[in-house]
Amino acid sequence: MLRDLGRDTFDLLMIDWELPGLSGIEVVTRVRERLDWHIPILFVTARDREEDIVQALEAGADDYMIKPVRQMEILARLRALQRRSGGQEAVEFAPYRFDRANRTVIKDGQPVQLTSKEYELAEFLFRNTGRLLSRGHILESVWGQRADLNTRTVDTHVSLIRQKLDIGAHNGWQLSTIYRHGYRLESATDEIKPET
């Protein structure tokens, strides 16, 4: 799993305490230290002592459930974690501002004309700044289609977004194509950080 986390993209992790090889706490610690702090983590385990709950949360888990879990409750908690990671009505990644209510990208005070899918893809890329995003994951997340379908549409839309938003080092962002994998959007300088 840790190897896959370094190669692919995940929206959420559900981790048990008792795992083969490493404990769930060790997995959470490694994910938070080495991989991606922004992945929501739900700890699901039979351990119910207060000390265990505190240890898991302090290691980096976002939520904690004690087994046996109830289906409706776990679904509600997953939706809550998704909302928390989804965020505000407007998000800024200077010089871009994403107005989520109107589904508009504003660059340097001017709205940029994007189709609905272009907007969704642009927001997805910026919300996952620094993460290596596979074409399959992008296709599933933005288009809601299986990852094994043709991903050429992803490449076409990324090219359009790069062009329409004028993404480049001159605007503080670099959108890189990762050979045989996907894309990574990163800050082009150490000084420019996404603001939420």
Q: Poorest-confidence range of 31-40, 74-83, 119-128, 170-179?
A: 31-40
Question: At 167, phi and psi to the nearest 5?
Answer: -75, 125
Say whether the peptide bond before residue 68 is cis (omega within 30 degrees of 0): yes
Secondary structure (3-state) at 105: strand
Q: Given this model, what pLDDT does residue 176 score? A: 94
Residues paired with residue 173 on neighbouring β-strands, in sequence order:
187
Do 161 and 138 form a contact (C-beta atoms < 8 A)?
no
Mind listing the pLDDT tens digit for each residue in 54-66?
Answer: 899 888 888 999 9
Please report, for the chain, the start and end positions of each structural domain, with discontinuous segments joined by +: 2-86, 90-187
Q: Given this model, what pLDDT does residue 2 score? A: 74
Residues paired with residue 177 on neighbouring β-strands, in sequence order:
183
Would you identify the CATH topology of the domain 2-86?
Rossmann fold (3.40.50)
The pTM of the full predicted model, rounded to 2 decimals, is: 0.58
Specify the CATH number for 90-187; select among 1.10.1740.10, 2.60.120.200, 1.10.10.10, 3.40.50.2030.
1.10.10.10
Mind listing the pLDDT tens digit for each residue in 136-192?
Answer: 888 888 887 766 666 688 999 999 999 999 999 999 999 999 988 899 999 987 444
